[in-house]
Structure 1
Amino acid sequence: MPNLGVVAHAADDLRVEALPEPSPAADEAVLEIAFGGVCGSDLHYWRHGAAGASVLREPMVLGHEISGTVVAAAADGSGPSAGTRVAVHPLTPHGDGITPWPADRPNLAPASSYLGSALHLPHTQGGFARRVALPTRLLHAVPETLPLEVAALAEPAAVAWHGLERAGDVSGKRVLVIGAGPIGQLVVAVARHHGAAEVFATDLHALPRRIAEQHGATTLAAADAAALAALHADVVVESSGTVPGLASAIEAARRGGTVVLLGLQRAGDVPAAVATAITRELTIVGSFRFADEFDDVIAALADGSLDVSGVVTHVLPADRALEAFGVAADASVSSKVLLDFTGE
């Protein structure tokens, strides 16, 4: 089969095209990709030619939420052997020689590369292709009991896991998730896994509210300000990345509560009810990507304790990527959309 890849060339210029066969370096294994999840950053590259400060300056293979099977082990003997099923951790941390960052938090390294990112030039090519060569340090073996469709959720689930753990121990607490998109759905699942006593979720659309309810969350309409304010949640995870969502998160947090900023807000100044945060002594923490949670997430997905059923709403063949991206962009009809690279 030709090595089809999903390549962003510019805004509104997404192509499925034949790529050269991978030519691995000594520390790289060749993977046969099984599934790839369409992320919000992939949608931004498609629609706008940029994801925040990362601007397309050359064609780039998209995709960082990927699973697959090693078909050729690395020549240097590192990493998994041929036949090993893996999920991919897309981060390679790098410092810039100037900016300090905590060594135990690689997600905060200032000059890091991430699969499918246009931050650096040349761009870091992603994993939306039938066959790719990747450094073995990115490859994490998954148990035979874990379907590769589910393993493709390891990366976004790790984002949700890291975000919730930024709030500390949530067992026995009331947790509210603002925005029940794919990441918000996974935060709901992680909150249940971590023993939250009550989980609530908001969204503008009926479909994500129904999916959250399947995981035991009580849902509210995003515009119901009075109901949100009455929750007095111990922990609020803002996963919508919107200014109204931020306002709702602060308003819904109890006195002495914690607000986790997980959804990426727009660049520049963002209005916020700072006086309310001060007088309630709220703890407000940011959350960016994830650190060392990846293997814990894989284990929880494999044993079923992290229940992500229903989060994937669509699986489309990779050669229908443009259609898949359109579906993923409509939050009223989809949650997580996967590309299937296994077909003819």
Structure 2
Amino acid sequence: MRGCVIHAADDLRVEELPEPVAGPGQAVVAVRYGGVCGSDLHYWRHGGVGDFLLREPMVLGHEVVGTVVGYGAGAGGPAPGTPVAVHPATPCGACPECLDGRAHVCRDTRYLGSAARTPHVQGGFAARIAVPAGQLRALPAGLGLRRAALAEPLSVALHAVRRAGPVEGRHVLVTGAGPIGSLVVAALRAAGAAAVTVTDLLPRALEFAAAAGATALVRAGDPADPGLPAEVDTAIEASGSAAGLDTCLRLVRRSGVVVQLGMLPPGMSPFAGNLVVSREIELRGSLRFDAEFDEAIGLLAREESFDALVSAVLPVEQATEAFALAADRSRSCKVLLDFGG
């Protein structure tokens, strides 16, 4: 079967892999679509994500949907043939964070397509994968696999909105209109935000944010753009840049909340810490998600507007082209690999 394997920076290969066999407690899924994520692009471009460096070949991918093939001993779940989304995390269930109900920050989690541990956790960019049966989520009637492929990144966005606290009736700033930033816009509108201002350097990215429901668009770095508000109630930084964080800190109201969702570069990043003190701003981090995965599936089933954020679908044989397209935000939002089911 075909799989998408990263060997080193700039060394992405579509290879023939052995068919998986469901072990005890596992299910085998025939993957149809896999979304190319920013972390996949980091492995492709740099050979690692932050401190997590490739030490062996690894199947990429953690945004995958498909249909159930079968189960191993002691496992059960949706019937074979059922369309499912795959939750990519397997928390340990025993660390202090898991026991405190915060499994998304588990210190010993296994995440599909991650080099955080050795041996690496192989990912979902393969025609068939074996995963713990408890990670399967049956799709509601009417939710197609193409749109359902957004479940994982939408879960990330929903968790960030939850970290922001109440947003109903409020004005929220989002810096960065990539796939995650645009999904944050959709999550904010679903949560009742009255206004969502989005900034980005690229006009095409702002078009995707508008499709997601942004009420105001601002070309970042353009002094002629009058769109920036004087103040917002809440800000979510989704660009992963120090400049984006600075904008959030300077525009959020006194005692407001800033959520850092975008992954900043490794090492030290400058930020206006004096404003955190003098204006008593709450700066909160946001990592992955947990129960939001089920919420995301429900939201995708209700809203057809998400279809506009899937900008391209390419067959797995064109994986390198798909990654190059996903890395070019002037041309794309969410790019999917098609494994043919």
Moved more, 226-235 or 213-222: 226-235
The count of corresponding residues between Structure 1 and Structure 2 is: 339
Matched to 1:48, the amino acid is H
Give 1:28's aligned residue. 26
Give 2:338's aligned residue. 340
Give 2:270's aligned residue. 271
Q: Structure 2 matches for 1:225-264, cutoff 5 A?
A: 227=226, 230-264=229-263
- Secondary structure of the equivalent of 1:80? coil
- Amino-acid identity (%): 50
For residues 164 and 268 of structure 1, what CA distance do their matches in structure 2 show? 26
Give 1:311's aligned residue. 309
8 Å CA contact 1:73–1:81 kept in 2: the answer is no
Summarize the Cα distance change of 1:121–1:228 in structure 2 as closer, same or farther, 3 Å threshold. farther
**Candidates 47, 50, 70, aligned match of 1:49:** 47
Give 1:105's aligned residue. 102
Q: CA deviation at 1:276?
A: 1.5
8 Å CA contact 2:218–2:228 kept in 1: the answer is no
For residues 251 and 96 of structure 1, what CA distance do their matches in structure 2 show? 40
Question: How far does the alpha carbon of each residue in 1:174-231 deviate from its partner, in whole angstroms, 9 at most, with x for none?
Answer: 0111000000000000011111000111111011111212233110011147857644
For residues 97 and 2 of structure 2, what CA distance do their matches in structure 1 show? 40
Matched to 1:202, the amino acid is T
- Secondary structure of the equivalent of 2:77? coil
Summarize the Cα distance change of 1:161–1:100 in structure 2 as closer, same or farther, 3 Å threshold. closer
**Candidates 164, 168, 179, aligned match of 2:165:** 168
Moved more, 206-215 or 190-199: 206-215
Q: Gaps spanning 5+ residues in structure 1: where?
A: none
For residues 330 and 29 of structure 2, what CA distance do their matches in structure 1 show? 34
8 Å CA contact 2:167–2:191 kept in 1: the answer is yes
Q: CA deviation at 1:95?
A: 6.9
Matched to 1:270, the amino acid is S
For residues 100 and 219 of structure 1, what CA distance do their matches in structure 2 show? 38
Summarize the Cα distance change of 1:227–1:112 in structure 2 as closer, same or farther, 3 Å threshold. farther
- Secondary structure of the equivalent of 2:331? coil
**Candidates 149, 153, 157, aligned match of 1:152:** 149
Q: CA deviation at 1:110?
A: 0.9
Q: CA deviation at 1:79?
A: 2.3
Moved more, 10-19 or 249-258: 249-258
8 Å CA contact 1:151–1:298 kept in 2: the answer is yes
Question: How far does the alpha carbon of each residue in 1:222-261 deviate from its partner, in whole angstroms, 9 at most, with x for none?
Answer: 1147857644111100000011111111112112211000
Q: CA deviation at 1:273?
A: 0.7
Summarize the Cα distance change of 1:227–1:164 in structure 2 as closer, same or farther, 3 Å threshold. farther
8 Å CA contact 2:93–2:99 kept in 1: the answer is no
Matched to 2:30, the amino acid is E
Matched to 1:23, the amino acid is V
Give 2:9's aligned residue. 11
Q: CA deviation at 1:150?
A: 0.9
- Secondary structure of the equivalent of 1:94? coil
Matched to 2:135, the amino acid is L
Q: CA deviation at 1:96?
A: 8.3
- Secondary structure of the equivalent of 2:235? strand
**Candidates 132, 141, 147, aligned match of 1:135:** 132
- Secondary structure of the equivalent of 1:298? helix
Q: CA deviation at 1:103?
A: 2.3
Give 1:282's aligned residue. 281
For residues 285 and 222 of structure 2, what CA distance do their matches in structure 1 show? 25
Q: CA deviation at 1:151?
A: 0.9
- Secondary structure of the equivalent of 1:166? helix
Question: How far does the alpha carbon of each residue in 1:301-337 deviate from its partner, in whole angstroms, 9 at most, with x for none?
Answer: 1122x84231111110111000000001111111110
8 Å CA contact 2:183–2:212 kept in 1: the answer is no
For residues 75 and 90 of structure 2, what CA distance do their matches in structure 1 show? 20
For residues 265 and 141 of structure 1, what CA distance do their matches in structure 2 show? 34
8 Å CA contact 1:176–1:233 kept in 2: the answer is yes
Is 1:185 aligned to 2:182, yes or no?
yes
For residues 16 and 38 of structure 2, what CA distance do their matches in structure 1 show? 24
Matched to 2:238, the amino acid is S
For residues 258 and 124 of structure 2, what CA distance do their matches in structure 1 show? 33
Give 2:200's aligned residue. 203
TM-score by structure 2 length? 0.95
- Secondary structure of the equivalent of 1:236? strand
Matched to 1:131, the amino acid is R
TM-score by structure 1 length? 0.94
8 Å CA contact 1:96–1:110 kept in 2: the answer is no
Summarize the Cα distance change of 1:227–1:271 in structure 2 as closer, same or farther, 3 Å threshold. farther
Moved more, 264-273 or 55-64: 264-273
Structure 1 vs Structure 2 CA RMSD? 1.7
Q: CA deviation at 1:9?
A: 0.7
8 Å CA contact 2:312–2:336 kept in 1: the answer is yes
